[in-house]
């Protein structure tokens, strides 16, 4: 069975995590909130919530290795990482390699905020040659002359659309006009 890993997937990416499980994948969701992970895991037998904080490097690496031993190497990773992307993605790539995933390749769907520079981020994270890197940039919505941030469902649906269409870069919502961003 194919294995998907979703880092930060119990909140705004919960819908995408559940969708991946419904596609017949084993899905490991790593998050910091055990209650949210439990609620999500209870929705599908293929969903496995694992409580870990990626800012704690040693703990995170151990968690990745444990779950790859249990469910096999991830062939698809969705990552919503707020800081330290280089290390977190590097640790994920290493865990996949150690579990034998380098033999068949894997895909990374890197979810990024509206102000992220995609080219710079792609240079910053060192993905191995066996990884196809996709970037999902979260924008905002303008309705009736007013702007708002994306809802969790809109974010999950945007990630799903990127996966289904195998897009290298995908913007959810809009990024322009920049001065119309909510709260600015």
The pLDDT tens digits of the residues spanning 73-126 come to 999 999 999 888 889 999 999 999 999 887 889 999 999 999 999 999 999 998
Name the band, by pLDDT with cuts 50, 70 and 90, for residue 184: low
Task: Provide the terminal-to-terminal Cα distance of the chain, rounded to the nearest Å.
Answer: 46
User: Looking at the DSSP assignment, which residues form a beta bridge with residue 134?
Assistant: 109
Which two tokens mark 99?
């579990």
Residues in contact with 59: Cβ distance below 8 Å, sequence separation at least 6, in sequence order? 52, 53
pLDDT of residue 10: 85
Q: What are phi and psi of 128, to 5 degrees?
A: -70, 165
pLDDT of residue 85: 87
* Block residue for tokens 């040659």: 129
Distance CA 151, CA 156 (A): 9
> Each residue of 11-50: pLDDT tens digit?
999 999 999 999 999 999 999 999 999 999 999 999 999 9
Domains of the chain (ranges plus CATH)? 3-180 (3.40.50.720)
């Amino acid at each position: 069975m194919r294995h998907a890993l979703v880092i930060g997937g119990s909140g705004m990416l919960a819908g995408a995590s559940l969708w991946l499980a419904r596609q017949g994948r084993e899905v490991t969701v790593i998050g910091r909130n055990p209650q949210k992970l439990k609620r999500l895991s209870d929705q599908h037998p293929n969903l496995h919530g694992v409580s870990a904080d990626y800012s704690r490097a040693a703990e995170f690496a151990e968690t990745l290795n444990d779950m790859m031993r249990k469910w096999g190497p991830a062939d698809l990773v969705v990552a919503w990482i707020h800081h330290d992307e280089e290390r977190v993605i590097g640790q994920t790539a290493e865990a996949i390699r150690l579990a034998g995933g380098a033999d068949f390749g894997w895909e990374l769907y890197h979810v990024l905020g509206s102000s992220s520079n995609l080219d710079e981020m792609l240079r910053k994270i060192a993905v191995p040659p066996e990884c196809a890197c996709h970037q999902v940039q979260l924008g905002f919505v303008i309705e009736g002359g007013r702007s708002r941030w994306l809802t969790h469902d809109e974010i999950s649906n945007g990630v799903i659309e990127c996966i289904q269409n195998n897009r290298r870069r995908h913007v959810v919502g809009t990024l322009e006009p920049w001065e119309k961003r909510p709260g600015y």
